[in-house]
């Protein structure tokens, strides 16, 4: 039986929306879960890097302060707020005074998710996990997000983006073991565009972003 074309389109859209919600790509399904394993505690965040990410992860980690097992922060996000991401990074660094806090990506990690990933004591990812790098993005007075790809960006705005991106790289991307030459090339590559790479590619390039490839934790 052949269905009308519009029903096929509707079905495809519905499948896409369901998968986006499952993967946390729809921007509305941010959630946290904690799983206690024999050799570590997995704290999983899926969805946008926005409030209440810091509060939720801080609560989960506070509950582990008396537990000597390492913490693995499992990330599945395409980014969000630089401010909220920075708060999470500082939280990870604080927790690392008493615990090993590793980071792991199974599916995707983009934009501000990457600096959080780089904060890990040890950084692992599934070989086919997607990583995305780009310049800082701002919102205008109307709340609309402005990106480097926008054709009507004024020179002053482009300069603002470049300066903010350089500051972000210095603050969070120059992490331990990251190849500085590779990082310089990446900074050049993201001007005006998004750069997507598989974890396996990052590892083969000697980027230092990923310490080891793993099947998942």
Residue 22 domain-assigned (yes or no) = no
pLDDT at position 143 is 61
Structure tokens at 182: 């590779």
**How many domains are there within the chain?**
1
Model-level pTM?
0.83
The answer to whether residue 7 scores a pLDDT higher than 70 is no
The mean pLDDT of the chain is: 87
Peptide bond into 136 cis (omega under 30): no
pLDDT at position 18 is 43
Residue 6 domain-assigned (yes or no) = no
User: Is 189 exposed, middle or buried, given 0-12, 13-18 or 19+ CB atoms closer than 10 A?
Assistant: middle
DSSP H or E run through 199: helix 199-204
What average pLDDT score do residues 180-199 get? 97
Residue 155 domain-assigned (yes or no) = yes
Residue 190 domain-assigned (yes or no) = yes
What percentage of the chain carries pLDDT values higher than 90? 72
Instruction: Give the model confidence (pLDDT) of 24-81 as tens digits.
Output: 444 446 799 999 999 999 999 999 999 999 999 999 999 998 899 999 999 999 999 9
Q: Interior CA angle at 167 toward 165 and 170, to 5°?
A: 110
DSSP H or E run through 72: strand 71-77
Structure tokens at 20: 């986006």
Say which residue, 192 or 189, is predicted with more confidence.
189
Q: For residue 106, what are the domain limits? A: 30-213
Residue 194 domain-assigned (yes or no) = yes
Q: Taking a C-beta distance cutoff of 8 angstroms, is the pair 102, 73 a contact?
A: yes
What average pLDDT score do residues 80-86 get? 96
Calpha distance 195→185 (Å, rounded):
12
- Domain harbouring 120, CATH code: 3.90.226.10
Residue 104 domain-assigned (yes or no) = yes
Q: Taking a C-beta distance cutoff of 8 angstroms, is the pair 81, 89 a contact?
A: no
Residue 202 domain-assigned (yes or no) = yes
Residue tagged 């790809």 (tokens)? 149
What average pLDDT score do residues 101-120 get? 98
The answer to whether residue 83 scores a pLDDT higher than 50 is yes
pLDDT at position 137 is 86
Residue 7 domain-assigned (yes or no) = no
Query: Which residues lie below 8 Å from residue 165, measured CB to CB, with a gap of 6+?
Result: 135, 136, 187, 190
């Amino acid at each position: 039986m052949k269905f009308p074309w519009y029903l096929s389109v509707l079905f495809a859209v519905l499948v896409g929306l369901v998968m986006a919600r499952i993967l946390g790509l729809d921007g509305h399904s941010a959630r946290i879960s904690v799983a206690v394993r024999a050799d570590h505690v997995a704290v999983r965040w899926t969805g946008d890097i926005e409030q209440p990410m810091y509060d939720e992860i801080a609560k989960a980690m506070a509950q582990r302060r008396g537990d000597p097992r390492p913490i693995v922060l499992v990330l599945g996000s395409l980014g969000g707020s630089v401010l909220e991401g920075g708060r999470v990074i500082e939280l990870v660094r604080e927790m690392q005074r008493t615990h090993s806090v590793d980071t792991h990506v199974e599916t995707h990690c983009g934009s501000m998710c990457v600096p959080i990933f780089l904060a890990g004591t040890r950084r692992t990812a599934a070989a086919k996990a997607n990583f995305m790098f780009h310049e800082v993005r701002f919102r205008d007075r109307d709340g609309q997000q402005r990106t480097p790809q926008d054709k009507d960006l004024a020179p002053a705005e482009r300069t603002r983006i470049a300066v903010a991106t350089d500051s972000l790289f210095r603050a969070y991307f120059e992490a331990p073991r990251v190849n500085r030459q590779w990082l310089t090339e990446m900074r050049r590559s993201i001007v005006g565009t998004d750069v997507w790479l598989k974890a396996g590619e990052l590892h083969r390039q000697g980027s230092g972003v990923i310490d080891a490839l793993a099947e998942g934790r």
